[in-house]
Chains A and B, each alone.
Chain A
Amino acid sequence: MTNKTQKGKRSKSSDSGLIDITQKKFRWSDYLAEKIIRGTAFLSIAIIVLIFFFVFRESLPIFSTAKSSAKTEASAENQATQETYGEVTDTPKAQDVQETYGEVVDISATADSTSEAYTVSAGSGFDDNQTALKSILTKDWVPVSQKPRYGILSLIIGTFKVTIISMLFAAPLAIMAALYTASFAGKRLKEIIKPTIELLAGFPSVVIGFFALMVLASFLQEVFHYDTRLNSFVGGIAMGIAAIPIIFTITEDALTAVPKTFSEASLALGASKWQTAFFVILPAATPGIFAAVLLGVGRVFGETMIALMATGNAAQMGLNPFESVRTLAATIGAEMAEVVFGDTHYNVLFLIGSLLFIFTFILNAIAEFYVKGKLMKRIQGK
């Protein structure tokens, strides 16, 4: 009856009326789907390789000593003759294409006053690239000048200063909050803390930067009575706020991943809840917490918008946390739109980008491999 006719229509039947399984069918859709999916999956790897290649490639020219001096001169002419401190004194890049409104204001008065301390001793007939390369490990970041110098030392120190301040603020706070959430908090409180952290993770950094610039800077100045309103301290705290969700989430994961048997054994031996949390769970999760802090460092290290808005943007070497600083990422963000494509300044900014990329790549690799391996050993190897 119907069954028979269906069978006849729907599948190749051999003489016996049985379904023939010996004919291997080629299915285009499956073949294509698999090829496309497998190919696409490699995209993530390809992107990383491409990022490294292209960012590094654009920085390469400063390593080659031979370069047409004509180009150097041309680009020098394009630039302002007055020496600046890498400050954003220009109107944003869209100016020649679009109508621009408003005057440009220098937000950091200190930057200009300090920059006067560096006077330019003009040497004649220097090769732009060679000088650039030589000047990289000095402290003077004076990219827009008749004799530009690209010393990134002060930028590196500025970046580290901000990073350290932000970690001193964010790491203890986030780790303690995670410990509370994992070990003490009741269900209700957990349901408040975790979504709040998720919301904070969703804050755009420009919003945090805005808050730091408008509110936090004034507030902290009231409390600590320092002179420069925007400085590495304000920037550090603001970036710390941005890093809290990362540190919190990974720490909390690490704490909850500690097997229940650990804490049960401890509680059974008569240890109290806090002793268990502090002496059993926390130590067992240290590799994970270490990873959390590493990734927090990575987040802060490359943060651009908050750095631009809250650190004051003056390249200084001092260790005083209440001085303005300029970070590596902020330097790229502020100056890339102003430079002439292919210019030495442009190349140096890409070199800074390569450094940032390599640094965060290494941080992440350490967090991944070293820490994970250790954590596994600790939890399973007992």
Chain B
Amino acid sequence: MIKSFKKNIKGILIEGMTLSAALLIIAIVVVMITVIVIGGKEQISWEFLTSFPEDGMTKGGIFPAIYGTALLVIIMSVAAVPFGTITAIYLTEYAKENSIIAKTIRFAVRTLAVIPSIIYGLFGLGFFIKFVGTSVDNTFLGGQLKWGQPNILWASLTMALLTLPVVIVSVEEALKTVPRDLRAASLALGATKWQTIWKVVIPGSISGIMTGTILAVSRGAGEVAPILFTGVAYYVATLPASLSDQFMVLGYHIYVMTTQSANVDKTMPIQFGTTLVLLALTFILNISAIILRYRIRKKKTD
């Protein structure tokens, strides 16, 4: 009797402890969201979203930061989604499951996913700006400085490298949900491998490619470290008009406003407002990705 009672106590204790851990994590998330929503909701207005900063960024809106973020993720997606999708196609359709090449590529993809984002920033600086950009300037512009400095193109490409594994993993998961039967059916009708991929496999995994894109966009919209010295600016009076312009983004705006502005207290509402906008943006993206992925997984088990 007593022994089993003791056993029970331990059981309840352990279950209780692990449950509290889970609840604490949920609480942290809820508190973070609540604090940011409460702190920022007053600030959100059409005006705030669509106007430029004023008075040394102590007043006004965050439009250039929203615009810059959008531009960044668009250019990034244009680069990352095709390459990521193609890599995923290689892994599921062409590579032999246990070949050394496939294993190495998978390892490389997972490594890319864990390399700190600041390293991507360094790479962007060392490769895109100093190597590619400077070479372009020297060969085509006679040494005139244009591409050999931070700009939105280099920042977006740097971000594309960072989000490449996100795309690859999502698309690969989706490609795997396309039944083997359908590939066989297509091949048995005399379709070539590429025709099968193009007409059956890719249409069957569009939602997965979309999920990957959304997740990549969400990641790219929030990351700051990779663009710190590849193109983002503290304040730009005009919107970027060419790929060689610098630009503002939401995440960096939050960072400079909180740590480097003259009057942190005075701009507090703007900081909270900007953070809320960024959080809402990533949330909407993430939730749609979660829903899409849930549907894909359901399709797989059906």
Binding site for B on A (CB under 8 A): 27, 29-30, 33-34, 36-38, 40-45, 47-48, 50-51, 54-55, 57-58, 88, 91-95, 97-105, 107, 172-174, 176-177, 179-181, 183-185, 189, 192-193, 195-200, 202-211, 213-215, 241, 244, 248, 272-275, 277-278, 295, 298-299, 301-305, 308-309, 329, 332-333, 336-337, 341, 349-350, 353, 356-357, 360-361, 363-365, 368
Please pick, from A36, A101, A368, the residue contacting B110 in the complex, using a CB distance under 8 A.
A368
Nearest CB to that of A192 among chain B residues?
Answer: B26
Nearest CB to that of B28 among chain A residues?
Answer: A241
User: Which stretch (B41-49, B135-143, B205-213, B226-234) binds chain A?
Assistant: B226-234
On whether the beta carbons of A329 and B278 are closer than 8 Å, the reply is no
Chain A residues closer than 8 Å to B242, beta-carbon distance: none
On whether the beta carbons of A301 and B116 are closer than 8 Å, the reply is yes
User: Which stretch (B70-78, B178-186, B249-257) binds chain A?
Assistant: B249-257
Chain B residues closer than 8 Å to A51, beta-carbon distance: 115, 119-120, 123, 127
Given contacts A176-B20, A203-B32, A298-B116, list 9 more A-B pairs with CB under 8 A.
A51-B115, A184-B19, A193-B26, A207-B222, A274-B10, A304-B228, A333-B225, A336-B229, A361-B115
On chain B, the number of residues with a Cβ less than 8 Å from chain A's Cβ atoms is: 107
B22 close to A (CB within 8 Å) = yes
Chain B residues closer than 8 Å to A207, beta-carbon distance: 32, 36, 222, 251, 254, 275, 278-279, 282
Please pick, from A45, A94, A272, A308, the residue contacting B255 in the complex, using a CB distance under 8 A.
A308
B187 close to A (CB within 8 Å) = no
Among B36, B122, B165, B271, chain A packs the most CB atoms within 10 A around the CB of B122
Among A29, A103, A214, A277, chain B packs the most CB atoms within 10 A around the CB of A214
Chain B residues closer than 8 Å to A97, beta-carbon distance: 233, 246
Given A301-B116, A364-B114, also A47-B259 (CB < 8 A): no
Nearest CB to that of A298 among chain B residues?
Answer: B114
CA distance A293 to B83 in the complex (A): 30
CA distance A159 to B198 in the complex (A): 48
CA distance A213 to B35 in the complex (A): 12
Given A94-B236, A304-B116, also A180-B192 (CB < 8 A): no
Nearest CB in chain A: distance from B238 CB, A: 9
Given A101-B56, A305-B225, also A55-B116 (CB < 8 A): no
Chain A residues closer than 8 Å to B236, beta-carbon distance: 94, 98
CA distance A219 to B225 in the complex (A): 26
CA distance A177 to B118 in the complex (A): 30
On whether the beta carbons of B108 and A184 are closer than 8 Å, the reply is no
Across chains A and B, the number of contacting residue pairs, with CB separation under 8 Å, is 321
On whether the beta carbons of B235 and A211 are closer than 8 Å, the reply is no
B200 close to A (CB within 8 Å) = no
On whether the beta carbons of B263 and A102 are closer than 8 Å, the reply is yes
Nearest CB in chain A: distance from B73 CB, A: 12
CA distance A50 to B77 in the complex (A): 21
Chain A residues closer than 8 Å to B254, beta-carbon distance: 206-207, 210
CA distance A304 to B259 in the complex (A): 14
On whether the beta carbons of A105 and B262 are closer than 8 Å, the reply is yes
Chain A residues closer than 8 Å to B225, beta-carbon distance: 205, 304-305, 329, 333
On whether the beta carbons of A333 and B228 are closer than 8 Å, the reply is yes
Nearest CB in chain A: distance from B9 CB, A: 11
On whether the beta carbons of B282 and A104 are closer than 8 Å, the reply is no
Nearest CB to that of B274 among chain A residues?
Answer: A210
Chain B residues closer than 8 Å to A173, beta-carbon distance: 21, 24-25
